[in-house]
Amino acid sequence: MALLKSSKCIMHHLKSNKFRMLGFTSSVSNSLFSRHHHLLRTVSPPLLPNHARVKPSIAFSGRFESVCDGKQLHTATQFSNDINQLSSEAPLEEELNFPGGKVKFTPERIFTSGSDNERTQCYRVLNENGQLIVDSDLFKISKELAVKMYKDMVTLQVMDTIFYEAQRQGRISFYLSTTGEEAINIASAAALNNNDFVFPQYREPGVLLWRGFTLQEFANQLFGNKYDYGKGRQLAIHYGSKKHNYITVSSTVATQIPHAVGAAYSMKMENQDSCTITYFGDGGSSTGDFHAGLNFSAVMEVPVIFFCRNNGWAISTPISDQFRSDGIVVRGKAYGIPSIRVDGNDALAIYSVVYEARKMAIEKQTPVLIEALTYRAGHHSTSDDSTKYRPIDEMEWWRDNQNPVKRFRLWIENEGWWSDRVESEHRSNIRKQLSQAIQAAERVEKPSVTDMFNDVYDVPTKNLSEQEIFLRENIKKHAKDYPYNVIT
Amino acid sequence: MSSIFQAVGAATSLSSSASFDTKKFQFSSSRSLLGKRASCVVVRCSGAKMDGGLNQIGGRADHLVTNAVATKADTPAASTASKPGHELLLFEALREGLEEEMERDARVCVMGEDVGHYGGSYKVTKGLAPKYGDLRVLDTPIAENSFTGMGIGAAMMGLRPIIEGMNMGFLLLAFNQISNNCGMLHYTSGGQFKIPVVIRGPGGVGRQLGAEHSQRLESYFQSIPGIQMVACSTPYNAKGLMKAAIRSDNPVILFEHVLLYNLKERIPDEEYVLNLEEAEMVRPGEHVTILTYSRMRYHVMQAAKTLVNKGYDPEVIDIRSLKPFDLHTIGNSIKKTHRVLIVEECMRTGGIGASLTAAITENFHDYLDAPIICLSSQDVPTPYAGTLEEWTVVQPPQIVAAVEQLCR
């Protein structure tokens, strides 16, 4: 990134740990702090005393700002001129007690640069050869967990290959693979509990897989048959499963981010020991919903994990055309959210990061932002041919050298928990299951015409019932113009 | 939105000019229990935990079946003497309904800009934040699309949020979430996730609020599958519809009108819930069916006085349910009068009136003795100047003229 870098970067850390709109006197602010703090924790708080009613139109007054015993609240510009009117504890002109914390003044006019000299560091524990880096700080995982993680990563890989092929053969209409992001999918899921709600973008079927969604269930959705939980209404790969706490994928980019925040808000209200997690890509981080969702979550202090899969590409838009910040991790600070950057191809690192993020989110009731650096090794979807906009050798380099599946395999093999034989057994097992699942799903009937009109509302309205009758009559009258297998 | 107007000013200007008493515009009203000759209104009886069906007849024991129908026979004095009730303004009725539901079901919560300690720009949520806490009555930053999305996410987890748009026009920013997620997710998830949100706020043409704050969003939203739309017009139906909307498992958009918040009416003390899909018979008649909703109801009733003096007998129906239309009530009326006049505030192109015209033509063409007349606002942004603004909204003389034309 060719940006001007100032040698003198001064950044004031405005945000204190618990952000509160405070008054100008510290004594008032402390009591308001604790009351305010209390109110955000409970569902039914005690009534506020009368003097703490809000004065909404005064600048900088907080929600529970009192009028400071009749003294006028000051704006920043008035401050230096009206020192006499402030209460006795007011500091000298060296700093301003502005809502959010003290701000030091400086006579030097310095613009903070748009970027630091050094980029935010990236947490990694396994190197490319699958070796644990010296002095790694990580949460150790058991053999069972590690093997399940690896097996699911392989399953995901094989599933992607075979379903992709099925689309190419015209058996399903659309598919979208997670090639290169298997570690993100599986390791993040492994670090969560089953009651943590997932709000996916679309490149996270591995999370469902981890939670027990079967290959048959995947296939049913792709074929849109009557066993699909979505009843054949959504595009392929738009999985959703209430019993797995995985929200149905919606094609709109990043709309799931505010959903996750709202869901976390409901968990906070009901004091649940769980969090929500939402995934999105580098492209999704440019949307308005990303901005507002992160901002809201910080203000409301809700337990949500924002997981950004920075895979370098938004269809054909490289990240250099997407933003000019140091990735997405630096944005967390802008909203007051603790953030971390992690190697997206290191399953162990991802596991540790999500594990800790979850604890933090729930115990401290705070959002957390995770940026995983990775690569979209496949095409955006079956409707895309990425060789048109990026060099093949770039893709091959990532596939070979940064391949998360290979890396993790090296590690578990070193631990003595895996072998070639088990690998080929597992792969051929999955392939067989997949081909059976596809054949079975293909043969199952599609949903009936009734399912076209159900669930628009809880009970169909009169006009919908009429429309259904009209359609059925048409199908009967002109049967040869409709697909032979439409079920009425 | 970039501009935050002084909403309080608009509300008070109305109250100073004329404190509407809805009784003036009702030729008769019956508030008696278990209606005498009037047809009875169905109460939505879905409890908090159960899925109610649409159009369920007969309430449960704990709900009252009360009249929302005005009959000619009973005089106001007689009916109000039998049951005192209490008087309040429309925005207070909305608040009462909201508060009763929040009391009844701990999952009901409110979110929107300035709904918390400010009490809402029209004071509908006043007093709720101190009572229920600022988590249940949540002030949001200015990002309509995102806090609507938040409400949807919370609803999918089991909460029942009421999302307030400070002005309905601001919900244009929330169109993506409303159309693509709110209306769709129940369907595309195969019924696994439901979205029992209520999206409400003031809309319509006010008093010189400028074009951006005078939008009629019901036009734009009416096509979205999966949502229901209702418009309230009196304190009585405001409270009843608010409660019904909250109890509904479908996403419901409740349209309020900026100029109607200070209407005063006496409403029952007992609890009542109205049916979301029903229209309200305001004044039965024989000569012509006038279909209207929200603020235009009052212009229609004003015109009705003139018409009665001229010897006409108009039947006035407040359609209330904008999506879906109550074609049952409307159809029965058309079969009786054979003439239809639609009076709306939407713009001519693509408004509620346009859809209603189409629906009536399709279903009741044989019963019509004359083409349907639809009076709407012009296809212009609402001008600011008072005179221009008045001309952009349908006025009673136009209504009278239209009826005279229909009944020729």
For the segment B9-19, what is each residue's pLDDT rounded down to a tens digit? 333 333 333 34
* pLDDT band at residue B71 under the 50/70/90 scheme: very low
Predicted ipTM beyond 0.90: no
Tell me how far apart the alpha carbons of residues A437 and A218 are, in angstroms, rounded to a whole number: 9
Catalytic residues of B: 144, 213
**pLDDT (0 to 100) of residue A479:** 87
Range from A3-12, A146-155, B377-386 carrying the lowest mean pLDDT: A3-12
Closest Cβ opposite residue B190 in set A54, A231, A291: A231
Rounded to an integer, the average pLDDT of A249-265 is: 95
**pLDDT (0 to 100) of residue B134:** 85
Burial A331-345 (b: 16+ CB within 10 A, else e): bbeebbbbbbbbbbb
Which residues, 6 or more positions from A92, have their beta carbon under 8 angstroms from its beta carbon?
Answer: A83
The predicted model scores a pTM of: 0.79
**pLDDT (0 to 100) of residue A284:** 95
Tokens of A87: 């209460």
3-state helix, strand, coil in chain B (%, to 5): 40, 15, 45
- Report yes or no: B384 at the A interface, CB cutoff 8 Å: no
Tell me how far apart the alpha carbons of residues B129 and B139 are, in angstroms, rounded to a whole number: 9
HSE-up (13 A, CA, CB side) for residue B396: 12
> Exposed (0-12), middle (13-18) or buried (19+): which is A168, by Cβ within 10 Å?
exposed
Tell me how far apart the alpha carbons of residues A295 and A367 are, in angstroms, rounded to a whole number: 10
- Report yes or no: B57 at the A interface, CB cutoff 8 Å: no
Residue B2 scores a pLDDT above 90 = no
End-to-end CA distance of chain A: 59
Rounded to an integer, the average pLDDT of B181-198 is: 95
A–B interface: beta-carbon pairs under 8 A: 192
**pLDDT (0 to 100) of residue A488:** 76
Residue B66 scores a pLDDT above 70 = no
Taking contacts as CB-CB distances below 8 angstroms, the residues of chain A near B328 are 462
Distance from CA of A436 to the nearest CA of B (A): 24
Tell me how far apart the alpha carbons of residues B253 and B200 are, in angstroms, rounded to a whole number: 6
Taking contacts as CB-CB distances below 8 angstroms, the residues of chain B near A448 are none
Tell me how far apart the alpha carbons of residues B65 and B380 are, in angstroms, rounded to a whole number: 43
Q: Report the candidate in A122, A73, A72, A121 with the shortest Cα–Cα distance to residue A97.
A: A73
**Mean pLDDT over all residues of chain A?**
84
Sole residue written with tokens 């919900």:
B171
Sole residue written with tokens 């947490």:
A123
> Exposed (0-12), middle (13-18) or buried (19+): which is B168, by Cβ within 10 Å?
buried
Residue A463 scores a pLDDT above 70 = yes
* Mutation target among B113, B188, B227 for the A interface, most CBs of A within 10 A: B188
Burial A413-447 (b: 16+ CB within 10 A, else e): beeeebeeeeeeebeeebeebbeebbeebeebebb
Tell me how far apart the alpha carbons of residues A317 and A314 are, in angstroms, rounded to a whole number: 5
Taking contacts as CB-CB distances below 8 angstroms, the residues of chain A near B228 are 457
For residue range A360-397, list pLDDT tens digits in order. Answer: 999 999 999 999 999 999 999 999 999 999 999 999 99
Tell me how far apart the alpha carbons of residues A294 and A264 are, in angstroms, rounded to a whole number: 12
- Report yes or no: B226 at the A interface, CB cutoff 8 Å: yes
Q: Which of A188, A339, A381, A386 is catalytic?
A: A381
Tokens of A242: 């209430």
Q: Is residue B245 classed as helix, strand or coil in its secondary structure?
A: helix
For residue range A318-331, list pLDDT tens digits in order. Answer: 999 999 999 999 99
**pLDDT (0 to 100) of residue A481:** 87
Task: Centre a 10 Å sphere on the Cβ of residue A141 and count the other Cβ atoms it contains.
Answer: 19
Taking contacts as CB-CB distances below 8 angstroms, the residues of chain B near A248 are 185, 188-190, 192-193
Closest Cβ opposite residue B141 in set A247, A257, A299: A299
Residue A359 scores a pLDDT above 90 = yes
- In angstroms, what CA-CA distances link A384 with A316, A388, A390, B79, B216? 9, 9, 12, 70, 41
Which residues, 6 or more positions from B178, have their beta carbon under 8 angstroms from its beta carbon?
Answer: B148, B171, B199, B221, B224, B227, B251, B253
Q: Which of A31, A251, A266, A419 is catalytic?
A: A251
Range from A4-18, A361-375, B140-154 carrying the lowest mean pLDDT: A4-18
Q: Over pLDDT 90: what percentage of chain B?
A: 75
Between chains, do B156 and A40 touch, taking CB under 8 Å as contact? no
Between chains, do B191 and A455 touch, taking CB under 8 Å as contact? yes
φ, ψ dihedrals at A340, nearest 5°: -150, 150
Sole residue written with tokens 């279903």:
B363
* pLDDT band at residue B82 under the 50/70/90 scheme: low
**pLDDT (0 to 100) of residue A11:** 23
Rounded to an integer, the average pLDDT of A143-166 is: 97
* pLDDT band at residue A47 under the 50/70/90 scheme: very low
Between chains, do B187 and A292 touch, taking CB under 8 Å as contact? no
Closest Cβ opposite residue A250 in set B135, B180, B192: B180
Tell me how far apart the alpha carbons of residues A282 and A317 are, in angstroms, rounded to a whole number: 10
* pLDDT band at residue A45 under the 50/70/90 scheme: very low
Rounded to an integer, the average pLDDT of B82-96 is: 90
Tell me how far apart the alpha carbons of residues A247 and A230 are, in angstroms, rounded to a whole number: 11
A232: left (phi over 0), alpha (psi -120 to 50) or beta: left
Tell me how far apart the alpha carbons of residues A424 and A418 are, in angstroms, rounded to a whole number: 11
| B157 compared with A487, residue with greater pLDDT | B157
**pLDDT (0 to 100) of residue A35:** 42
Between chains, do B141 and A255 touch, taking CB under 8 Å as contact? no
